[in-house]
Structure 1
């Protein structure tokens, strides 16, 4: 079969012209709102990944628009496949940063060193993203041409999806641990409760999307043409609405949810600001200080050895409230804001006794 004939089989259906436009507009608007809020709350360090994930995902649906009008164009097909698959793992990295900042805010309930959240989850997320991009590119480029490359690409995508689902499950367990500890200690203030439920919900959306993509990947493993499909394969390969219901919609809800409940509304921009043991006052502490050598922190990032022995290597500075000055306002009580001017018009003075690093 000539390549011009094979490229016509890139889609097993007649691609919609309208649906990718709708999702490109929805996710693009959400991206613009998120950029505005990042500047408004000056929260770029924590939620940069929402901007980057939104940029990639929006670009994916824009490429899908062009691809729907030129379905035999392999370059457009590869671009939209890689970008649409690559956006969600980047979105998930925003959750990991939010959890790290929540651990800094509630150090007494942190599962482990807040900065290790970035090391552990974001770098695992980078691995997921790399596997996804490599697998998607191989599958799209070899579709209808090279069975071995197509199968390899499918395996890489399958591995990345299983890994991302596993990471999300571990992530949710950490959020649940923080939630339980805060509730037991009467530290479950409105902002903490809102963030916990937001992280549960967004993680559920990522897992929902992962399950769909995993079913699709395993059902189409090694399948080059619709004729080779089984019943499940035909179900996900020949019906375009599946991708919009199980991929586009959950991730659109995800990004809108993080706009409605932007963490800049609920957590201090200054990561040294933490909730005192009284559950209302917020103080400016020294941050989490690990007294171990650098090689020990890399060998045992969770400080398991000393924690098991009952002698953790970090200082419990939150038990020495008298040493640390009270912050201006309290996010727990709703009397503080990261914005120069709150939505109600009341002016707040920014806490700047320690720079954010």
Structure 2
């Protein structure tokens, strides 16, 4: 890079050309695999967000790759900043959907309405996304207006802290349900794999959130007191790849390896009986409250605190609900893969086995 381009560069370091390209390929390959797996398992209602988050995150890394060659281009800098910040919260929405579906599968151990849990987390995720987009774009375009830069930084910090808080709530909820399942002897292989996946992905998101919060504080301090307050987090690019790019790449690849479509039935009315093996087709979660009550208290916190939840414990009358005829995910005898998708899956599986032995 020439001295002139360094003087006008929007980056506080010389950005790598290779690393953004590598992560673009990793995120792009994972995105293609998620599209294939959504076609295979037809679980779009749960895992659509992996596609959308992957598209946004991939856009950010491609823009950063191009921006590394044009470091003074403000538009490229804004795009890479906003999209790399916006991708992870969308990824997290998939985990929120997955835990909602898991609670529908284990309704007797759910402390809250599974459907409302999903909506609550996704709405909070939407708030995170809105704050992130507004804050990131403001910071990228604010300088030399320090006041606007600080305001944008505050929005980004609020978004990151909110997302970290949501992830902590998610882990606590998982722990409560996991503990109840363990006490009841209801931890078959598919349920254990889902718990492990959700614990792991939430940890990766928390690592990324902590890094971005530290980075935001460092950026605001550096702008407020000029070069004398520079921070290693801002001066060295490797922090971004170790604490943001790598955790999110592992996040999306992990969910390709342990895709929820392998472990959860497509129909959310299907639930696991107390024997930990039999799956039954129930009526789904039924809330006996009026519409305005569910609007004012969507999680039925009043009933939960009083020990009198407003839902029907349909799982206590197992004989009323038919056993699923297509096998059981808990017993490893059921699959979401059907028809033509199954044939394609078998072809890919056989090709992978052949390559392994060659």
TM-score by shorter chain over 0.5: yes
Aligned to 1:206: 205
Aligned to 2:112: 112
Return 264-273 or 298-307, whichever deviates more: 298-307
Structure 1 pair 293–70 and aligned structure 2 pair: CA distance change class (3 A) = same
Deviations 1:118-155 (A, max 9, x none): 22100000001110110000001113x21111111111
2:320 counterpart of 1:323: yes
Q: Give ranges in structure 2 of 5+ residues lacking alignment.
A: 348-358
Give, in whole Å, the separation in 2 of the partners of 1:122 and 1:272.
Answer: 21
Contact 1:49 1:94 in 2 (8 A): yes
Aligned to 2:356: none
Alignment of 1:332-347 (within 5 A): 332-340=330-338, 341=342
Aligned to 1:311: 308
More helix by share: 2
State the SS of the aligned residue for 1:157.
Answer: helix
Structure 1 pair 226–71 and aligned structure 2 pair: CA distance change class (3 A) = farther
TM-score by length of 2: 0.91
Aligned to 1:24: 24
Structure 1 pair 74–7 and aligned structure 2 pair: CA distance change class (3 A) = farther
2:238 counterpart of 1:238: no
Give, in whole Å, the separation in 2 of the partners of 1:118 and 1:304.
Answer: 15
Contact 2:5 2:71 in 1 (8 A): no
Alignment of 1:278-293 (within 5 A): 278-293=275-290
Alignment of 1:1-357 (within 5 A): 8-143=8-143, 145-224=144-223, 227-230=226-229, 233-327=230-324, 328-340=326-338, 341=342
Structure 1 pair 6–291 and aligned structure 2 pair: CA distance change class (3 A) = farther
State the SS of the aligned residue for 1:336.
Answer: coil
Deviations 1:177-199 (A, max 9, x none): 11111111011111001100110
Q: Shift in Å at residue 226 of structure 1?
A: 9.4
Q: Shift in Å at residue 159 of structure 1?
A: 0.8
State the SS of the aligned residue for 1:332.
Answer: coil
Deviations 1:61-116 (A, max 9, x none): 00001101111000000000000000011111110000000000000011200111
Structure 1 pair 7–192 and aligned structure 2 pair: CA distance change class (3 A) = farther
Give, in whole Å, the separation in 2 of the partners of 1:52 and 1:39.
Answer: 15
Contact 2:108 2:315 in 1 (8 A): yes
Q: Shift in Å at residue 312 of structure 1?
A: 1.4
Provide the aligned C-alpha RMSD in A.
1.8
Return 213-222 or 164-173, whichever deviates more: 213-222
TM-score by length of 1: 0.92
Q: Shift in Å at residue 305 of structure 1?
A: 2.0
State the SS of the aligned residue for 1:283.
Answer: strand
Contact 1:151 1:222 in 2 (8 A): no
Q: Give ranges in structure 1 of 5+ residues lacking alignment.
A: 346-357
Contact 2:99 2:118 in 1 (8 A): no
Give, in whole Å, the separation in 2 of the partners of 1:122 and 1:306.
Answer: 23
Give, in whole Å, the separation in 2 of the partners of 1:227 and 1:296.
Answer: 53
Count of matched residue pairs = 339
State the SS of the aligned residue for 2:280.
Answer: strand
Deviations 1:282-330 (A, max 9, x none): 0000000001011101211221222333321111111111111110200
State the SS of the aligned residue for 1:69.
Answer: coil
Contact 1:41 1:264 in 2 (8 A): yes
Q: Shift in Å at residue 344 of structure 1?
A: 6.8
Give, in whole Å, the separation in 1 of the partners of 2:79 and 2:306.
Answer: 52
Q: Shift in Å at residue 6 of structure 1?
A: 10
Contact 2:222 2:231 in 1 (8 A): no
